[in-house]
Amino acid sequence: MVQEPLDDKQPPRVSGPSGAVGVLVVDDQQVFRDVAREVIEATPPFELLGEASSGEQALSVVEALRPALVLLDVRMPGMGGITAAKRIRAGDAEAVVVLISVEDGPNLPVAVTSCGAATVVRKQDFGPALLRSIWREHGHN
């Protein structure tokens, strides 16, 4: 799902103690996007702002919606998560970018540590407790 802004003005970032934490989920696998959506919807104060299935789409959606948190798959066809993370952080230094992968540690590309992502988490571990923990450690509240 790619969403466009309502007007030419840049929308305000969605996050803070009085509001929801806006989240963008980027993964080429619909199954993980569905799981992530369920986790986000069940975990206040997080709110799903949108989804993208590629790094290229992610760049457009981040620019349009300005999510506070971006969950970004490491390996996708076309622009992968590492390149997308670098570009997202270059254009929006306040966005918290979290790389997600089924792989861990030694199986991940070395560049995951230098692309500007706050952390890397395994998809298998993703749930409400991990989402809250990530935001506590890396969020801007």
Q: Whole-prediction pTM value?
A: 0.85
Residue pair 109/63 in contact by the 8 Å Cβ criterion: no
pLDDT of residue 112: 80
- Which CATH number fits the domain that encloses residue 87? 3.40.50.2300
Supply the range of the domain harboring residue 97: 21-138
pLDDT of residue 4: 38
Residue 15 is assigned to a structural domain of this protein: no
Residue pair 127/100 in contact by the 8 Å Cβ criterion: no
Calculate the CA 19 to chain-centre distance: 18
Residue 118 is assigned to a structural domain of this protein: yes
pLDDT of residue 17: 43
Tens-digit pLDDT profile for the chain (141 aa)?
444 343 344 444 555 444 899 999 999 999 999 999 999 999 999 999 999 999 999 999 999 999 999 999 999 999 999 999 999 999 988 999 999 998 877 767 777 877 888 899 999 999 999 999 999 999 765
Handedness of CA 20, 22, 27, 28 (dihedral sign): positive
- When divided into structural domains, the chain yields a total of 1
Residue 10 is assigned to a structural domain of this protein: no
Report CA Rg, the chain. 14
Residue 124 is assigned to a structural domain of this protein: yes
Residue 53 is assigned to a structural domain of this protein: yes
pLDDT of residue 11: 45
Q: Kindly report the backbone phi and psi dihedral angles of residue 98, in degrees, each rounded to the nearest multiple of 5, phi listed first.
A: -120, 120
Residue 92 is assigned to a structural domain of this protein: yes
List the beta bridge partners of residue 26: 52, 72
Q: In what order do the strands lie in the sheet with 46-52?
A: 46-52, 21-26, 69-73, 96-101, 119-122
